[in-house]
Chain A
Amino acid sequence: MEHELFRQGYGSSNGHSFYFSDGTSASGRAEGNLAALTLAPELSRKASLGVDSKFFNNRLSFNLEGFLEDRRNILISPSNISGVIGIGVNEQSLGQEKYRGADVSIAWDDQAGDFEYGVYGNGGWLFSEVVDDGQAFQAYDYLYHKGNPVGQRYGLEVIGIFQNQLEINNSPQQTFGEVRPGDLKYRDQNGDGVIDSQDRVKMFGSSIPLFSFGFGLHAGWKGFKVFADFQGTTGVTVNLQDSPLYQPLIGNGTISDTFLRREITWTPETAATATMPRLTTTDGANNYVSNSLWYRDGSFIKLRNVGISYTFGKQMLKLCDATLSLNATNLFCLDNLKFADPEQLGAYYPTTRVFWAGLKFNF
């Protein structure tokens, strides 16, 4: 019924019916949700200050920029409106986020006779803060998103694995699904004896990296050229649940060898060394909610591009230049996960590593 945010629609989808005579139902029509009176394009106010400099006869270059950004009019669903209004309210442009950060880059290029070389590094920091995301009233202060980074991870805190039914009976009731020995045990944050959505806490970092960096080098001598570029991020938390490996057998799905090699699932025999809860073909609702077991550090450094080439000059070939090159992309990745690329957890195949060779003629 509400097709446009800016216009209130009327119609039958909210309407209640009633019987004014036995057997004949009359259908009702109702007001649709209130229009988004604050609808406006997202507004970003950014102030940045930077310096670009070159020293030593343009061999050393140094750039630094810091910025403060305030984003407003983000479209959110407002939830702090009293029910006395008696109608739903459409998304409003009331969200607000703040960002601040800095980018720095430094590079050195020099030449010594036939040998030219250069090395560079850059890095960027991004700090974010949620000012207003329209979150509804929460019973406990730790449930609020306000003040936390954008993309902050939240979940239940895992304190162990249930070893037996007695332990389950003596622990707070976990309301997400069936609980049996081998399932994850959570901490009751608010002490109400029940584990439910009110026990979610802020944990680890955000899905948006805090610090991204890159560095590399290039060098050349006579006809040879070589270069390498590294790139990485840190300060990011990934969710293993995004990987298809980490929900084995759910809904009669498959289980991977990689998973079985890396992890030990709980059985009464492996209880002492188990790293994962029990395997199950049911939906495992108790274990597969956001919790501290699935969040991992997603930092990585990758060798993005590396290459070497040699140019045969015109003097040698008479007709043209020829360049022979050998390149590789995504040569290796150093990270904490080891079994997958943290940037592509959701992919069903590993990140491709590409090698190619080329010959270029210049007439």
Chain B
Amino acid sequence: MKKILYLLSAVLLLAGCNFLDFDETSGNYTREDMYATYSNIRSMLTNVYGYMPNKDIYDVGSALRDCGSDDAEYADPDASVQRFNNGNWSALSTVDDKWSLYNGIRAANEFLASYETIDLSKYRYDGNYDNWQEHLKYYPFQARALRAYYLFDLARRYGDIPVPTTVLSIEEANSIEKTPFDQVIDFIVTECDDCIEGLPTTYANMYNNEYGRVTKGFAMALKAKALLYAASPLHNPSGDKAKWLKAAQAAQAIIDSGLYRLDPGDVCNNIESTEVIFLIMRSESQNLERYNFPLRFTEGARTSMAGSFPTQNLVDAFQTAGGYDITLGASGWTTDDPDFDLSTPYEGRDPRFARTVLANGMAFKGASIETWEGGADYSATRSDLGSPTGYYLRKYIQESTSFTPENQVQNKHHWIVFRYAEFLLAYAEAVNEYFGNPTQTDGTLHMSAADALNQVRANAGMPDVSATSADAFRQAVQREWRVEFAFEDHRFWDVRRWKLGSTQSQIDGVHITKAGSKLEYSRMTVERRTWSDKMYLYPIPQSELFANTNLNPQNTGW
């Protein structure tokens, strides 16, 4: 009997049960949860948008990327942006490497893969169901367009890059091979072609009026820009005209679409401008003004060196209103313009000058800018927190921003990613290179390069350019890019694609002295920068080469 009892109790105590099936997890969302409702799907796509660069205007620490070019100098000599200029840039000490764009690419790849599994049919009786379906059909094209943009941003930095089109595992990420630059551009172009078909021209008539999403215009613009960079001398050493033709045709498609019109006013920060193809909207902020206002307007908000200051090199690019060059020498201004008053060198200039640069004598916030030696905005050394070049940033700066303690004003800054003027200039550049003649047209390219350029000139209030040779016209187009798109993150890339590295070494400013009521101007050296031709491309970070040896070889020279 005892034995039976022992046996029985053993059987009961030693048996296990397997029906305890409760969920021990903490309720984290899974991938299926993320694609189960419209609101979550929308959030997954919003995350892909979040990787667009330059959202805060400044993108390299607190500096605009133009401080790595001869357009601007950043105040703090130890800031990371100075690595572009002072010879400290290397694979071990990278700056602006934007390898984080691969996170955006992965988010897009993940979205595209999961999109196939979406099934919202259980919501089909919801009042908004049709609206959602209308939006949903555009979502994959938006993800592809964004992915193409991120690939472009990586390719213009590094040349050959790995192109993941699916979500990678650890082994795949550590062994993926680089794709040559031309093939990356081809991929971007085919993606953009599909997105041109698939995206709408505007979202304004759709549910929720989400006009900030990427449109057909964005895809056309990205295609044109990518083809232009592929045709430019850096990646087209042989000058292959077929590449210029493709670039011209892509730019022409935008011009012929009739979707956009040039805007004579300031396009920056302007959501409603007819010229905007894509811009990134932001909330109110004072940071850009905190870094860049002349010190006396910051009411003590700026306590350490910061600020992107335009150089004399940039100022020299702005012509007089009559269309003549004007340069500053060691002992004053010189110009061929017979009607120009050299004693007021900042008046009577290209109208875009006053929108880009704050120079001595300009009216700002109820006062007049004084950068002469001893003036209110003069800065003898960088630690005085003023401009080392004699000029202050005006573009994107909102004048009404205020730091006065009882009356703080913040403003929104909206970054322009693409605008129409870029593609008129792209067309002008490409057609000029293709024909070797600025006034020629033919069956497919029905506007001449000169006409396209002059449309931009006229919109800015400047007289036409009348160059007749391809070389002179090329110079005119390059100058026009510089003055039209100053501080819109073009110069840094244009220097590279046009291989203008030799112009980057000498950075100048203006030195003004006041004698009585007369101002004397002279050119001064702000700094000498180190330029080396390897800097046309970025160095691949050494830690990446270490993790994935297939990313070798490193870009030449690094």
Contact = CB atoms under 8 A, between A and B. Distances in A.
Contact of B28 (A9, A85, A86): A9
A29 B168 CA distance: 19
Interface in B126-167: 162, 164
Nearest to B209: A21
B176 interface: yes
Interface residues of B, number: 61
Interface string B34-54: 100000101111111111100
Q: Is the interface of A mostly helix, strand, loop or mixed?
A: loop
A32 B212 CA distance: 26
Interface stretch (A12-20, A287-295, A309-317): A12-20
Interface in B152-205: 162, 164, 168-170, 172-174, 176, 203
Contacts of B558: none
A15 B100 contact: no
B165 to A, nearest CB: 12
A10 B34 contact: yes
B211 interface: yes
A134 to B, nearest CB: 12
A22 B271 contact: yes
A142 B347 CA distance: 60
Interface residues of A, number: 42
Contacts of B102: 83-86
A28 B50 contact: yes
Contacts of A19: 212, 280-283
Interface in B59-105: 92, 99-100, 102-105
Contacts of A8: 30-31
A81 B172 CA distance: 10
Most chain A beta-carbon neighbours within 10 Å: one of B46, B99, B168, B174: B46
B213 interface: yes
A42 to B, nearest CB: 21
Contacts of A16: 46-47, 49-51
B174 to A, nearest CB: 5
B173 A80 contact: no
Interface in A79-95: 80-87, 89
Interface string B199-242: 00001000011111100000000000000000000000000000
A4 interface: yes
Contacts of A27: 43, 46
Given A16-B51, A21-B210, A82 B174 contact: yes
B182 to A, nearest CB: 20
B529 interface: no
A19 B412 CA distance: 12
B445 interface: no
Interface string B517-556: 0000000000000000000000001111011100100000
A348 B544 CA distance: 46
B539 to A, nearest CB: 13
Given A4-B28, A29-B44, A84-B548, A20 B50 contact: no
12 contacts: A1-B28, A7-B30, A12-B43, A16-B50, A28-B48, A29-B40, A31-B110, A37-B170, A83-B547, A84-B102, A89-B170, A137-B547
Ranked 4 nearest A-B pairs via Cβ: A16-B50, A86-B106, A28-B47, A85-B173
Interface of B: 25-26, 28-31, 33-34, 40, 42-52, 92, 99-100, 102-107, 109-110, 162, 164, 168-170, 172-174, 176, 203, 208-213, 271, 280-283, 412, 541-544, 546-548, 551
Given A9-B29, A16-B46, A31-B106, 13 more contacts: A10-B28, A16-B47, A17-B50, A19-B212, A29-B46, A31-B110, A81-B173, A82-B173, A84-B544, A85-B102, A86-B103, A137-B543, A137-B547
